[in-house]
């Protein structure tokens, strides 16, 4: 299993542990997520309790600093529910990073100002 797929698999396990149903993921056993506003998340989940989608991406020490990852974070972290009881609520955005990318991820999240939105969580995968 390639490193990225392993990271995505770990992220799906985290979603499941939190009661979020994994709908799509960039790993075996799932359909690949469709692009959202031009960017493909690594995991898309659904919280049946809160009636809210969850979006997740993964990054390692090499990809966390890329322009593509920065654009993904900036775009996908701003998504909101378009309809239903959770309409207008920001989608939970989870970024799964490797241990060696954790500090860099903290800086990138601050630079893109997504922490202040209150919907972004960084986890180690």
- Across the beta sheet with 93-97, what order do the strands follow? 21-25, 43-47, 52-59, 93-97, 120-124
3 — pLDDT class (breaks 50, 70, 90): confident
Question: What is the model's pTM?
Answer: 0.94
What's the CA gap between 58 and 124, in Å, rounded? 9
Domain with residue 63: its CATH number is 3.40.1350
Q: Which residues are within 8 A (CB) of 79 and not within 5 positions of it... i.e. 6 or more apart?
A: 36, 37, 53, 55, 90, 91, 93
Tens of pLDDT, residues 50-95? 999 999 999 999 999 999 999 999 999 999 999 999 999 999 999 9
Q: What is the CA radius of gyration of the chain?
A: 13
Is the pLDDT assigned to residue 108 strictly greater than 90?
no
For residue 73, give the nearest of 28, 33, 120, 26 by alpha carbon.
120
Q: Where in the sequence is the domain holding 30, given as residue range(s)? A: 3-124
Q: What is the DSSP string of 27-44?
A: STTSPPPPPBTTB--SEE
- How many domains in the chain? 1
Mean pLDDT in residue range 109-114: 82
What's the CA gap between 82 and 78, in Å, rounded? 12
């Amino acid at each position: 299993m390639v490193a990225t797929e392993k990271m995505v698999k770990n992220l799906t396990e985290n979603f499941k542990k939190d009661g979020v149903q994994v709908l799509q993921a960039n790993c075996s056993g799932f359909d690949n997520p469709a692009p959202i506003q031009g960017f493909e998340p690594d995991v898309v989940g659904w919280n049946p309790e809160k009636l809210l989608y969850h979006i997740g991406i993964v990054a390692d020490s090499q990809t966390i600093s890329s322009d593509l990852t920065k654009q993904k974070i900036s775009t996908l972290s701003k998504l909101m529910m378009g309809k239903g009881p959770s309409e207008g609520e920001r989608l939970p955005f989870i970024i799964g990073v490797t241990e060696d990318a954790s500090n860099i991820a903290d800086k990138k999240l601050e630079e893109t100002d997504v922490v202040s939105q209150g919907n972004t969580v960084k986890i180690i995968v």
